[in-house]
């Protein structure tokens, strides 16, 4: 695979879960609710876009930067019935143990309803046993219990300390997800 996120998004965009559809994130998804989730202290402390207040233009700038090198993209997670945004999934090409990896960063606007589980399970299912990437990687703040539980129960294992605050969680797509 060349270093192009298109090989991954080609598999992801248009996919469905029970409640959600995965679409390419566009300007129309930047609703007041979305900006509210990004800026709320509960979410923003754990997001890479952790400036205090997010605006439409700051989100567009972030998206442009992410897409510029074709090494990252953002998925809009929309409700299949209402087509309203329920969350986002950030995707970035990465490397782990010298092999191709995909770093994922998830934001769910209505937490605790199982949507995170639905999304991560689907991504694992789509990419398992394919040669697009070998590993899924998530950098998770040590304090982020909910995210840690989400990735752990989705088959990820704690790999190593990534930094002072973050842990690195890994799933080997060739071995498949471990039973939760």
Query: Is there binding between residue 142 and ligand COA (CB under 6 A)?
Result: no
Token look-up 């930047």 returns: 30
Give 145's contacts (C-beta < 8 A, 6+ positions apart): none
Tokens coding 110: 């209505």
Query: Is there binding between residue 150 and ligand COA (CB under 6 A)?
Result: yes
Least distance between ligand COA and beta carbon 142 (Å): 11
Q: 4 or 105: whose CB is closer to ligand COA?
A: 105
> Which of 17, 49, 58, 117 is the binder for ligand COA (CB under 6 A)?
117
Question: Which one of the spans 14-22, 42-50, 74-82, 157-165 is the region binding ligand COA (CB under 6 A)?
Answer: 42-50
Query: Is there binding between residue 140 and ligand COA (CB under 6 A)?
Result: yes
DSSP assignment of 84-126 equals: -EEEEEEEEEEEETTEEEEEEEEEESSTTSSHHHHHHHHHHHH
Least distance between ligand COA and beta carbon 179 (Å): 12
> Which of 39, 92, 147, 177 is the binder for ligand COA (CB under 6 A)?
147
> Which of 60, 83, 113, 158 is the binder for ligand COA (CB under 6 A)?
113
Query: Is there binding between residue 136 and ligand COA (CB under 6 A)?
Result: no
Binders in 49-108 for ligand COA, by CB under 6 A: 105-108
Token look-up 């589980």 returns: 117
Q: 43 or 128: whose CB is closer to ligand COA?
A: 43
Q: Total residues at the site for ligand COA (CB under 6 A)?
A: 23
Considering Cα of 56, then 62, then 132, then 111, what sign does the dihedral take? Answer: negative
Residue 60: name the closest of 77, 38, 93, 40 by CA: 38
Query: Is there binding between residue 144 and ligand COA (CB under 6 A)?
Result: yes
Tokens coding 122: 């689907």
Least distance between ligand COA and beta carbon 131 (Å): 25
Q: CA dihedral defined by 78, 36, 144, 129, rounded to 10 degrees?
A: 20
């Amino acid at each position: 695979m060349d270093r192009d996120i298109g090989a991954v998004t080609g598999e992801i965009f248009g996919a469905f879960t029970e409640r959600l559809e995965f679409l390419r994130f566009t300007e129309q998804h930047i609703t007041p609710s979305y900006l509210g989730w990004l800026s709320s202290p509960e979410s923003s402390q754990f997001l890479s876009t952790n400036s205090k207040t997010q605006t439409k233009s700051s989100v567009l700038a972030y998206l442009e930067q992410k897409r510029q090198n074709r090494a990252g993209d953002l998925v809009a997670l929309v409700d299949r019935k209402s087509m309203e945004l329920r969350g986002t999934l950030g995707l970035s090409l990465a490397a782990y143990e010298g092999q191709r990896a995909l770093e994922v960063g998830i934001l769910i606007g209505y937490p605790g309803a199982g949507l995170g589980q639905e999304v991560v399970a689907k991504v694992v299912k789509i990419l398992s046993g394919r040669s697009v990437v070998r590993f899924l990687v998530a950098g998770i703040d040590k304090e982020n219990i909910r995210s840690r539980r989400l990735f752990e129960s989705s088959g990820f294992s704690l790999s190593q300390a990534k930094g002072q605050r973050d842990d690195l969680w890994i799933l080997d797509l060739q071995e498949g997800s471990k039973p939760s």
